[in-house]
Every structure is written in C-alpha cells, then in structure tokens.
Amino acid sequence: MKSKITIINIILVTIAALATVLNNYNIVAVPDTLLITLRWAALAGLIVFAVIKRNLTTSILISMLVGTEIGYDFPTIGKEIHFLRQIFLQMIKTVIAPLLFATLVTGIAGHSDLKQVGRMGWKSLLYFEVVTTFALLIGLFFANWFKPGEGIIPPAALNATLPETHQQTWQDIVLHSFPENIAKSIYHGEVLQIVVFSVLFGISLALLPVAKKQKMVEGIELLAEVMFKFTKIIMLFAPIGVGAAIAETVGHMGIDVLKNLALLLATLYCALIVFVLIIFVPIALFAKIPIVKFAKAIFEPVSIAFATTSSESALPKAMEKMEKFGVPRHIVSFVMPTGYSFNLDGSTLYLALAAVFVAQATGTEMTVGHQLTMVLLLMLTSKGVAGIPRATLVILLGAIANFGMPEWPVLLIMGIDELMDMARTSINVTGNCLATAVVARWEGELDDTKMHASDIVLPKKSPADI
C-alpha cells in the first residue's frame, strides 16, 4: 500500500513541478487554475502519505509544503490562521521553566558532586565548558558572516505587540539576573533568573546527606521525565503550528523568504564542518587518538543519531563502541551520560546561530556585547537538557524571550529543523565519544593497544578450531 502511494506521489509531484517549470520559463503557457490544481493534487497525495506513515518528521516537512502553498495561493487565509502558530508557541512555553529547573537540578545534584567523582568530575566539566564555548563562538561567527536572516522584512502586524525596551547599565543587567520571586520569574519567562535559582537549588541539594538528597533527586528526575513526555505530546501539534507559521509568513512576505532558510541550513552545515576540523581534530591529535580509527569506531552510533535525530538512541551503542576502543568502563559510564547533559556541542553551536538568525530576521540589533551576553546565557541554559529531538527549541525560545525578540522566526526554522537536527545530533554524539577518550587519556587509562586494534576484524573460528 505504502509503495503504491509513494509511486503515485512521485508521479503527481513530477507533473506539478514540470508544469510549474514550463510555465515559469515561458516554454508552455499553463493556466493558473490548472497549475494550482496540479500542485494541490500533489500535496493531497503527500498528506495521505503522512497520515499513513504517522511520523512526526514527515508530517512537519509536508506541513511546511502545505503552508507554503496556502500562503502563496491564498495569502489572506495564510494571514488569518496565525492563531494556530500562537497556540503551539504558548503550549511550548509552558515547558520551559519546569524543564530547565528539573534538568539543571538533577544535573548538578546528580552528577556534579566533586567529592564523589574526584578528578574525573572536574576534568570532564572543564573539558565540556571549553569545547561548548568554542562551539557557541563559532556559531556566532558564522551567523554574522553568512547573515542568513538578513533581508527578511518583519511584517508590521507581527511587531505591533513588541514591548518597549529601555537602555540598561551593566549593573542593571547583573541585578536582573537574580530572581526576587521565582514564581514571578516563571510568569514573565525570565530564563536567566530561573537558571540562577535552579543552579543554587541544585548546589544546596548536593550539600544534603546522601539519603535525603537521593529522595529529592529521584522526584525531580521524575519531573524531568514528565516534562519530556509533555514536550512530545505538544510536538504532535507541531505540524499544524509550523504549517500555519509558514503560511502566514509566505502570505505576508512572499515565497522569497524560503531562500533565507536554505542559507541558514547551509550556514549550519558549514559551521559544524569547520568546528570538527578546528576543534575536534586538534583535540584528537593532541590526545594522540588516531582519527581514522576513532571515526570507524563511532560510525555506527553516529549513523543512528543522524537517522533518528536523537542522541539518546545512540547512547548504548556509543558506550559499547568506546569501551571496545580502549576507554575503561568506569570512565565511559561516567563521562558519556554526563556529557549528554553538559556537552551538546552541535546543539550549542546551533543555538548561537539560530538566536542570531532570529535577531537578523526581526531587525533586532545585537552588539558584540549583547552577543557575548547571549553566549553566557546559552552556556547556562543549554546545560542539563537531554539530547532528544527538538529539545533545543525550548532553549532557543527562552533565549530570544530573554532579549525581548519576537518568536515567529523560530517557527520558520522549524520547517527545516529536522535537517538541522540530523547534523547537530551527530556532532553531539561525536563530541561525547571524543570526550570519553580525552578524559581517559588525561587519566592515563586509555588502552593504546586496544585502541589501535579496534578496527581489526578477527577471522571467524572454524568448527575445527573450537
């Protein structure tokens, strides 16, 4: 059944695309009514395919096409369905505060007790902070170099509700970082204040006796799990929200806005490639880790991460491969899970790039000082968020809200988020695998013999040898 529908879809899409190209290049004059009919017939086939497949990724990508067509053919309708994107944004905002609180507190109280983890703890955390900081800076550099969000003219209707901004001194900024009332901070979406409260709460919890601390940590871990489930439920509405956002944007600004999304995607991939070449490769060479053998060792878990856009789905295989690579089990079992909370290199680079894209798209001027402040904010807020698909959306919304920027460009990004997620998740897994090997080398426990033999395939034993 699926194969037949796929063949029909290919035929419909090919006919619609061919008719559009022939008409646009004045090769054959095709009536507008026929063109619209052909395009909607192709989209109807894709919608049926999405319903049958029941895959969120497929649904989001197809909803982007449907939203584009609605905005292009029926711009008035595209503008009027803006309330659907607002519903999605309001639902996702409800997750920000409890998710940040739960993940940061469990990350600090559960993993950062340096008296327990000893040298391995501070070495891992130092490594994570240095590498993720470089990731953020590279993301900022490429965002300012390529300028993928520049040229998008914000519609007046979307900017009408923006709050007035006032010049603040550095003392005001520092003072504003500390909450006076956590409930008030949550209500106003003050992410940095929520982070400060969560960090202090996590440190306080870590100082309690183990028996008392464990009960609270288990409860907060359960809260984090609930919020991740909550996020997954909200994401079921994502195709509608994304489709409505694209329809509204194309209805307001025309089809040319999609060029900016293609540039944003290209910018991310270029930035990640450069990050691997100038950060990962030198680190591996300095730690005397053979790059080719390391790449072969992590190929399978990285492939799983790329296909599923989930770092967690690759975790068991990544731990198995790194142990086979020569990293002792006790180091793998500590560094890898901790890295999944504190060392999301691809996601942090993406966050910096996406945040500047939002600023460029909305015409928000960000000085070097503002961008460095944003880096510090993202360094804090990106810690503790598990590597599940689209979890960075929560952090991105929180970061741009902290700077008073509109959220509509985030829904534009979501149209290509799956393609971006594949790349950044792969880098997350690669970075955590490399971290285990680096810490093992730092501890003097990396097994070089095992490492150099990791890609050797042993011949199968014959029955006579057994």
By the 10 Å C-beta count (0-12 exposed, 13-18 middle, 19+ buried), 244 is classed as buried
Q: Which of 238, 261, 230 is nearest to 84 (CA)?
A: 238
C-alpha closest to that of 432 among 307, 286, 283:
283
Q: Which residue has the tokens 């009027």?
A: 80
Q: Please classify residue 359 by burial: count the beta carbons closer than 10 Å to its beta carbon, then call 0-12 exposed, 13-18 middle and 19+ buried.
A: buried
Long-range contacts of 232-238 (CB under 8 A, 24+ apart): 234/88, 234/91, 234/92, 234/95, 235/56, 235/389, 235/390, 236/56, 237/87, 237/88, 237/91, 238/56, 238/59, 238/60, 238/88, 238/390, 238/414
Nearest alpha-carbon partner for 97 in 228, 209, 190: 190
- What whole-number distance in Å separates Cα of residue 100 and Cα of residue 91? 15
The greatest distance separating any two alpha carbons of the chain, rounded to the nearest whole angstrom, comes to 83
Taken in order of first residue, the domains within the chain and their CATH numbers are 2-82 (no CATH), 83-155+190-452 (1.10.3860.10)
Helix (H) or strand (E) holding 143: helix 114-146
Amino acid 166: pLDDT? 46
Are 280 and 430 in contact, with CB atoms under 8 Å apart? Answer: yes
Q: Provide φ and ψ at 254, rounded to 5°.
A: 90, 175
Residue 154: predicted pLDDT: 57
Contact between residue 86 and residue 237 where contact means Cβ atoms under 8 Å apart: no
Distance CA 150, CA 145 (A): 11
Element (DSSP H or E) covering residue 244: helix 238-253
- Return the HEC string of 214-240: HHHHHHHHHHHHHHHHHHHHHHCCHHH
- Give which of 396, 398, 392 is closest to 421, Cα–Cα: 392
Neighbours of 332 (CB within 10 A): 23
**Both structure tokens of 284:** 């591996």
What is the model's pLDDT at position 269?
Answer: 93
Flag residues of the chain having pLDDT under 70.
1-2, 57, 107, 110-118, 153-173, 191-192, 253-258, 307-310, 312-313, 341, 382-391, 415, 418, 455-466
Which pLDDT value is given to residue 379? 75
CA pair distance 164, 171, nearest whole angstrom: 20
Give the pLDDT confidence score for residue 118 in this predicted structure.
Answer: 60
Element (H, E) at 408: helix 408-414
Kindly report the pTM of this predicted structure.
Answer: 0.64
User: Residue 282 is inside which H or E element, if any?
Assistant: helix 281-286
Amino acid in the structure at residue 124: S
pLDDT for residue 188: 75
Task: Give exposure, 39-78, as e/b (b: 16+ Cβ within 10 Å).
Answer: bbebbebbbebbeeeeebbbbbbbbbbbbbbbbbbebeeb
Tokens read off for 181: 């009332």
Radius of gyration of the CA atoms of the chain, in A: 24
Q: Which amino acid is at 212?
A: K
Nearest-angstrom CA–CA distance, 126 and 131: 9
pLDDT at position 254, please? 66
Q: Which burial class, exposed, middle or buried, applies to 315 when counting CB atoms under 10 A from its CB (0-12, 13-18, 19+)?
A: buried
What was the pLDDT predicted at 285? 95
Question: Which amino acid is located at 322 in the chain?
Answer: M
What is the distance between the alpha carbons of residues 339 and 435, in angstroms, rounded to a whole number? 8
